Chain A
Amino acid sequence: MPAAKAKRPPRVVLLVGTRKGAFVFRANPSRTRWRAEGPHRFGEIVNHVVLDPRDRRTLLCAARAGHLGPTIFRSTDLGATWQEAASPPAFRKAPDGVAGLAVGYTMALVPGSASEPGVWYAGTSPPGLFRSEDGGSTWRGVDGWNENPLRAIWCPPEDQTPDGAMLHSILIDPRDPTHMYVGCSGGGSFESLDAGASWQPLNQGVEAPASPDPFPEYGQDPHCMALHPLRPDRLYQQNHCGIYRLDRPATRWERIGKRMPAEIGDIGFPIVLHPRDPDTVWVFPMDGTTVWPRVSPGGKPAVYRSRDAGKSWERQARGLPRAHGWYTVKRQSFSADGCAPLGLYFGTTGGELWMSANQGSSWKRIAEHLPHVLSVVAATLDG
């Protein structure tokens, strides 16, 4: 009897969205060599490329061109061919005489719960929430959000964050797909217990920028929110005003970024969780002083890690430029692969792609000279 074939380890693939198209980087089994494919959708502004973890074959890509409106492309062969969504995210037509909203771009593509195959959510600018039930081909607005009269008060579409107000974070409770959170820049974080039919602000303890009341009910500016898959009552957010943690059922966020070194501060875009350790989290600080340069403080890029849920932080910069690294990492451009040992990846506004195979202790550059990186998603394929 032939010996049973050993199961191959999963292979990591990085899905990289940039200002000029999408790239796919495939790793060898030891993640020491990478092969670049692309650009896909060359010349289009690709905000997000995501692999469906439920079938490991469907890719969705959120794209727009400088001249053209936004759309979604689908691929079921890892980018060899693409099909456009039959009806991309679009707000409902407003009554005559009313200036209705139009999707400027889709920022985030989020697969639904494992119990709902084919379901995806999309977050847009202006802040809209959309759902697909057919693997991303047709999309409908989540009326409880898009048509909610409070939405325009919570998240004014005219809010002028640099890339326009957007809904960028969509978190689904793995225990119950009707329990959701969204994060809007600017507007804050919001919770739904009924699959998006109704929403409540969830911003206590979070400072708001440009507000006479520093702690209003809404109007905050989360940059990136995350929920821990093994402890879904634990939320983190990297906000315009610091790094926060919330352990439900509490409703008051704690600013865990106050324990970051004062000279670094706790401003940044992304936040990444260790998928097997709810206490371990990584951030990529940027300069949020004076006129908000939005580059690494002092031109010295560094990741910071906490292994105690934000009680303390350690700098992880080995391998990164020691000086003149004038870039940052956008909110969707830092990712973990879920392998053991965990791999971490980030892409920079300067077009570089970096990885760590030792949980941030040292970093190695995978690619340079890419366009401005807008998203990095680490996924695994069957070996």
Chain B
Amino acid sequence: MRVGIPSPLRSYTSGLDEVQASGATLAGLLADLDERFPGIRFRMIDEQGRVREHIRLFVNAELARDLERELSDRDHVQILCAISGG
């Protein structure tokens, strides 16, 4: 399925703003992304399995908070970075 990559994470995807990945759930998709782009998952998900404070995951434009949310190949997943910094 198509996964949109925000600019802070494009150093992992050679600058691509959209990549292909697969997974039956969001957790599976993130694991597959990390296989393809090593290190990308830990920048988004902490060691306790929690989505980091300023990361948002959308499935078909709907905010997804549960990493066990099921996915199909037709879904579009968009990763966004919420406003932060200073």
In the complex, residue of chain A having the shortest beta-carbon distance to the beta carbon of B9? A68
In the complex, residue of chain A having the shortest beta-carbon distance to the beta carbon of B43? A68
A88 x B86 contact (CB < 8 A) = no
B85 x A68 contact (CB < 8 A) = no
Q: Is B15 an interface residue (CB 8 A)?
A: no
Instruction: Point out the residue from A66, A85, A90, A99 that lies within 8 Å of B54, measured CB to CB.
Output: A66
CA distance A26 to B38 in the complex (A): 32
Q: Please choose the segment from B17-25, B44-52, B64-72 that sits at the chain A interface, where 4 or more of its residues have CB less than 8 A away.
A: B44-52
> Which residues in B have their C-beta under 8 angstroms from that of A92?
47
B43 x A69 contact (CB < 8 A) = yes
B52 x A69 contact (CB < 8 A) = yes
> Which residues in A have their C-beta under 8 angstroms from that of B49?
93
CA distance A68 to B82 in the complex (A): 10
Query: How many pairs of residues, A versus B, come closer than 8 Å at their CB atoms?
Result: 59
Q: Is A173 an interface residue (CB 8 A)?
A: no
Instruction: Point out the residue from A67, A71, A93, A103 that lies within 8 Å of B85, measured CB to CB.
Output: A67
Q: Is A150 an interface residue (CB 8 A)?
A: no
B38 x A69 contact (CB < 8 A) = no
Range for the number of chain A residues in contact with chain B: 20 to 34
B39 x A68 contact (CB < 8 A) = no
Q: Is A1 an interface residue (CB 8 A)?
A: no
* Mask: chain B, 25-56; 1 = CB below 8 Å from A; 0 = not: 00000000000001100111111111010110
Secondary structure call for the A interface: loop
Q: Chain A's nearest CB lies how many Å from the CB of B82?
A: 7
B47 x A100 contact (CB < 8 A) = yes
> Which residues in A have their C-beta under 8 angstroms from that of B48?
91, 93-94, 99-102
Given A84-B39, A86-B38: A69 and B82 interface contact (C-beta under 8 Å)? no
- Give A111-145 interface residues, CB cut-off 8 Å to B: none
Q: Chain A's nearest CB lies how many Å from the CB of B37?
A: 11
A69 x B44 contact (CB < 8 A) = yes
Q: Chain A's nearest CB lies how many Å from the CB of B62?
A: 21
CA distance A100 to B47 in the complex (A): 8
CA distance A101 to B48 in the complex (A): 7
Secondary structure call for the B interface: loop
In the complex, residue of chain A having the shortest beta-carbon distance to the beta carbon of B12? A84
Q: Chain B's nearest CB lies how many Å from the CB of A164?
A: 13
In the complex, residue of chain A having the shortest beta-carbon distance to the beta carbon of B49? A93
Given A93-B47, A93-B49, A102-B50: A67 and B39 interface contact (C-beta under 8 Å)? no
CA distance A305 to B37 in the complex (A): 50
Interface centre among A90, A93, A99, A102 (most CB of B within 10 A): A102
Instruction: Point out the residue from A65, A66, A69, A84 that lies within 8 Å of B46, measured CB to CB.
Output: A69
CA distance A69 to B55 in the complex (A): 10
A90 x B44 contact (CB < 8 A) = no
A67 x B42 contact (CB < 8 A) = no
B86 x A90 contact (CB < 8 A) = no
B44 x A65 contact (CB < 8 A) = no
CA distance A67 to B81 in the complex (A): 6
30 A-B contacts, Cβ less than 8 Å apart?
A65-B8, A65-B43, A66-B54, A66-B84, A66-B85, A66-B86, A67-B52, A67-B54, A67-B81, A67-B82, A67-B84, A68-B44, A68-B52, A69-B42, A69-B45, A69-B46, A71-B42, A71-B43, A84-B39, A85-B39, A86-B39, A90-B42, A91-B48, A92-B47, A93-B47, A94-B48, A99-B48, A101-B48, A102-B48, A102-B50
Q: Interface on A for B, CB 8 Å cutoff?
A: 65-69, 71, 84-86, 88, 90-94, 99-103
Task: Give me the 7 closest cross-chain CB pairs, A-B, nearest first.
Answer: A66-B85, A102-B46, A67-B81, A90-B47, A68-B43, A67-B54, A66-B84
